Protein backbone atom coordinates (compact mmCIF):
# COMPACT_ATOMS: atom_id res chain seq x y z
CA UNK A 1 0.00 0.00 0.00
CA UNK A 2 1.41 3.43 -0.89
CA UNK A 3 2.78 5.50 1.99
CA UNK A 4 3.89 9.13 2.17
CA UNK A 5 5.44 10.97 5.09
CA UNK A 6 5.09 14.73 5.51
CA UNK A 7 6.37 16.94 8.32
CA UNK A 8 5.66 20.41 9.60
CA UNK A 9 6.63 22.44 12.66
CA UNK A 10 4.66 24.65 15.00
CA UNK A 11 5.80 27.10 17.65
CA UNK A 12 4.17 26.44 21.00
CA UNK A 13 3.78 28.65 24.01
CA UNK A 14 4.51 27.10 27.36
CA UNK A 15 2.96 24.83 29.96
CA UNK A 16 -0.25 23.46 28.42
CA UNK A 17 -0.48 25.24 25.10
CA UNK A 18 -3.29 23.96 22.85
CA UNK A 19 -2.77 24.47 19.11
CA UNK A 20 -5.18 23.67 16.28
CA UNK A 21 -3.18 21.75 13.64
CA UNK A 22 -6.13 20.64 11.49
CA UNK A 23 -5.17 22.98 8.63
CA UNK A 24 -1.60 21.71 8.41
CA UNK A 25 -2.73 18.06 8.51
CA UNK A 26 -5.41 18.74 5.86
CA UNK A 27 -2.78 20.37 3.65
CA UNK A 28 -0.43 17.39 4.01
CA UNK A 29 -3.21 15.00 2.97
CA UNK A 30 -4.36 17.23 0.08
CA UNK A 31 -0.81 17.51 -1.28
CA UNK A 32 -0.18 13.76 -1.16
CA UNK A 33 -0.64 11.43 -4.12
CA UNK A 34 -2.96 9.26 -2.05
CA UNK A 35 -6.72 9.82 -2.47
CA UNK A 36 -8.22 7.69 0.32
CA UNK A 37 -6.83 6.03 3.43
CA UNK A 38 -5.63 7.03 6.87
CA UNK A 39 -3.36 9.76 8.17
CA UNK A 40 -1.47 9.17 11.40
CA UNK A 41 -0.40 12.36 13.12
CA UNK A 42 2.62 12.00 15.43
CA UNK A 43 4.33 14.62 17.59
CA UNK A 44 7.98 13.97 18.39
CA UNK A 45 9.13 14.32 21.99
CA UNK A 46 7.85 13.03 25.30
CA UNK A 47 6.04 16.09 26.65
CA UNK A 48 3.29 16.64 24.06
CA UNK A 49 0.26 14.82 22.71
CA UNK A 50 -2.32 14.98 19.94
CA UNK A 51 -6.04 14.38 20.04
CA UNK A 52 -9.29 15.67 18.60
CA UNK A 53 -11.90 17.98 20.07
CA UNK A 54 -13.70 21.19 19.26
CA UNK A 55 -11.08 23.95 19.19
CA UNK A 56 -12.94 26.68 21.07
CA UNK A 57 -11.43 29.09 23.63
CA UNK A 58 -13.77 28.22 26.52
CA UNK A 59 -13.42 24.49 25.87
CA UNK A 60 -9.64 24.93 25.76
CA UNK A 61 -9.80 26.52 29.22
CA UNK A 62 -12.06 23.70 30.46
CA UNK A 63 -9.58 21.14 29.12
CA UNK A 64 -6.65 22.89 30.82
CA UNK A 65 -8.52 22.96 34.14
CA UNK A 66 -9.44 19.27 33.84
CA UNK A 67 -5.82 18.33 33.10
CA UNK A 68 -4.65 20.42 36.06
CA UNK A 69 -7.08 18.52 38.33
CA UNK A 70 -5.88 15.13 37.03
CA UNK A 71 -2.14 15.96 37.00
CA UNK A 72 -1.67 19.00 39.26
CA UNK A 73 1.26 21.39 38.96
CA UNK A 74 1.62 21.96 42.69
CA UNK A 75 2.86 18.49 43.66
CA UNK A 76 6.36 17.05 43.57
CA UNK A 77 7.28 14.82 40.62
CA UNK A 78 10.32 12.56 41.08
CA UNK A 79 11.33 12.97 37.43
CA UNK A 80 12.03 16.65 38.05
CA UNK A 81 14.87 15.61 40.38
CA UNK A 82 16.59 13.71 37.55
CA UNK A 83 17.30 16.68 35.29
CA UNK A 84 16.27 19.63 37.46
CA UNK A 85 13.97 20.92 34.71
CA UNK A 86 10.69 20.80 36.66
CA UNK A 87 8.79 19.05 33.88
CA UNK A 88 7.79 15.79 35.55
CA UNK A 89 4.16 16.83 35.27
CA UNK A 90 4.67 17.43 31.53
CA UNK A 91 5.72 13.83 30.96
CA UNK A 92 2.83 12.45 33.02
CA UNK A 93 0.30 14.63 31.18
CA UNK A 94 1.58 13.66 27.74
CA UNK A 95 1.47 9.97 28.60
CA UNK A 96 -2.28 10.34 29.15
CA UNK A 97 -2.86 11.91 25.72
CA UNK A 98 -0.36 9.91 23.62
CA UNK A 99 1.84 11.21 20.82
CA UNK A 100 -0.23 9.98 17.87
CA UNK A 101 -3.74 10.02 16.47
CA UNK A 102 -5.16 8.49 13.27
CA UNK A 103 -7.81 10.07 11.02
CA UNK A 104 -9.43 8.50 7.94
CA UNK A 105 -9.70 10.53 4.74
CA UNK A 106 -11.46 10.20 1.40
CA UNK A 107 -10.97 12.23 -1.80
CA UNK A 108 -8.03 13.92 -0.04
CA UNK A 109 -10.33 15.32 2.69
CA UNK A 110 -10.14 14.42 6.38
CA UNK A 111 -13.30 12.71 7.61
CA UNK A 112 -13.79 14.84 10.70
CA UNK A 113 -17.06 15.94 12.27
CA UNK A 114 -18.34 19.50 11.86
CA UNK A 115 -16.92 20.65 15.22
CA UNK A 116 -13.96 18.29 15.35
CA UNK A 117 -10.41 19.59 15.04
CA UNK A 118 -7.00 17.98 15.52
CA UNK A 119 -5.12 19.60 18.37
CA UNK A 120 -1.57 19.54 19.66
CA UNK A 121 -1.22 19.75 23.43
CA UNK A 122 2.22 20.92 24.50
CA UNK A 123 2.73 20.27 28.20
CA UNK A 124 6.39 21.22 28.53
CA UNK A 125 7.50 24.14 30.67
CA UNK A 126 9.42 26.23 28.08
CA UNK A 127 8.05 27.45 24.75
CA UNK A 128 9.47 25.43 21.88
CA UNK A 129 9.21 24.34 18.26
CA UNK A 130 7.35 21.05 17.83
CA UNK A 131 7.81 18.74 14.86
CA UNK A 132 4.70 16.97 13.62
CA UNK A 133 4.94 13.94 11.34
CA UNK A 134 1.96 12.97 9.18
CA UNK A 135 2.16 9.46 7.75
CA UNK A 136 -0.37 8.97 4.96
CA UNK A 137 -1.32 5.44 3.91
CA UNK A 138 -3.90 4.37 1.33
CA UNK A 139 -4.77 4.20 -2.35
Q: What pLDDT does residue 14 have?
A: 81
Percent of the chain clearing pLDDT 70 (strictly above): 100
Its CATH architecture, for the domain 3-138, is Sandwich (2.60)
pTM of the model: 0.95
Per-residue pLDDT tens over the stretch 79-128: 988 988 889 999 999 999 999 999 999 999 999 999 999 999 999 988 89
Q: Which helix (H) or strand (E) holds 137?
A: strand 128-138
Contact partners, residue 97, CB within 8 Å, separation at least 6: 49, 50, 51, 121
pLDDT band at 47 (very low <50, low <70, confident <90, very high): very high
Q: Give the span between the Cα atoms of 122 and 124, in whole angstroms.
A: 6
For the chain, what are the domain ranges? Answer: 3-138
Residue 57 — very low, low, confident or very high, per pLDDT cuts 50/70/90? very high
Amino acid sequence: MPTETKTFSVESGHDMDIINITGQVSKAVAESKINSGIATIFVTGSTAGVTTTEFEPNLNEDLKKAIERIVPSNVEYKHSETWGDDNGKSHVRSSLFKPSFTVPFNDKKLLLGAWQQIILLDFDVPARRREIIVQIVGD
